[in-house]
Structure 1
Amino acid sequence: MQIPVPALTHSFTLRVDLSSPIELGQGRAGQRRIIPIVGGAALGPDISGEVLNLGADWQTIFADSAAHLDTRYAVRTDDGVVIEVINTGTRHGPSVVMDRLATGEDVDPASYYMRTAARLETGSQCYAWVNHTQFICAGIRRASAVEIAYYKVD
């Protein structure tokens, strides 16, 4: 028997609006910061709606400028269902590129790596499929937002 090779299918893209980072200082593993999530949009095809003004990204920035991303937030679909999103991953690239991102500059996404794995959960039967689906994501950091494409792992 051969192990199946997963396939990816685009499910939706989130445009997540961010507030100013809250700097915590140096932690055990690196520089710590919390970036509040203050809104945004979910752009189908599977899920469309709004990112709620709720949640944050708890980041650790390592000495080599790589960032560990650890987010928790929620989406309210156009038909009123709330879906929890927990998304963890990494963003890294050359120090000069990461420094430009940190100042809010738009940088060519091909010059850095931003990938995450997401788990979604809801009590709605209409969206119960998200409770049993693994999502792999690719993202872009903007000055005051991130854009994240969510892919179902088939």
Structure 2
Amino acid sequence: MKGFAMDLPTPKLDEVCTLYVELDVIREMGAGRAGHRRIIPIVGGTVTGARLAGRILNLGADWQTIFAGGLAELDTRYAVETDDGAIIEIINYGFRHGPEEVLAAVARGEEVDPTAYYMRTHARLETGDERYDWVNRTLFVGVGARFQQAVQVTLYALT
């Protein structure tokens, strides 16, 4: 068709950082409109990587919905303070699901191979600090793992 590009670029993923997110005790809300609701406070952690490094601030939470069949909808909002003093907001949305026995082991706080279940996110980062303005114009995806009182997510820039 005239006027349409035939050879679009193939997106690539560039690793940006790994988030080690420390969690407080789960606050159970009970059954909601779509599933079981719970809030998991985010109380700290670290950010390591070549493009972003710093600490996760003691604020924010993961507002989860657990659907029939075990699908967890992850909906987080928190902030990072970089080693050089910038504040970056992170809004991370995604899904965690897998075989029932694997999810039960994760729920018990057991160490589970992260390849045994699916935990993927897409993240929006935002800052007013000019040194990190690139995060305002970049799409991010993440791969994660859940531990007893923590989550690990590696973020990749979609380029």
**Quick check: TM above 0.5?**
yes
The partner residue of 1:123 within 108, 120, 128 is: 128
Ranges in structure 1 where 5+ consecutive residues have no aligned partner:
none
- Structure 2 counterparts to residues 103-122 of structure 1, below 5 A: 103-122=108-127
Alignment pair present for 1:59 and 2:97: no
Counterpart CA distance in 2 for 1:74 and 1:26 is: 28
- Structure 2 counterparts to residues 95-106 of structure 1, below 5 A: 95-106=100-111
In percent, how many aligned pairs have the same letter? 56
Alignment pair present for 1:19 and 2:28: no
Deviations 1:31-67 (CA, angstroms, capped at 9, x unpaired): 0000000000000110100000000000000110110
Ranges in structure 2 where 5+ consecutive residues have no aligned partner:
1-5
Letter in 1 for 2:54: G
How far does residue 3 in structure 1 lie from its aligned partner after superposition? 2.4
Count of aligned pairs between the two proteins: 154
| 1:153 alignment counterpart | 158
Tell me the SS of whatever aligns to 2:124. strand
Larger C-alpha radius of gyration, 1 or 2? 2
TM value normalised by structure 1: 0.98
Counterpart CA distance in 1 for 2:35 and 2:104 is: 16
| 2:52 alignment counterpart | 47
Instruction: Provide the aligned C-alpha RMSD in A.
Output: 0.6
Counterpart CA distance in 1 for 2:85 and 2:27 is: 31
TM value normalised by structure 2: 0.95
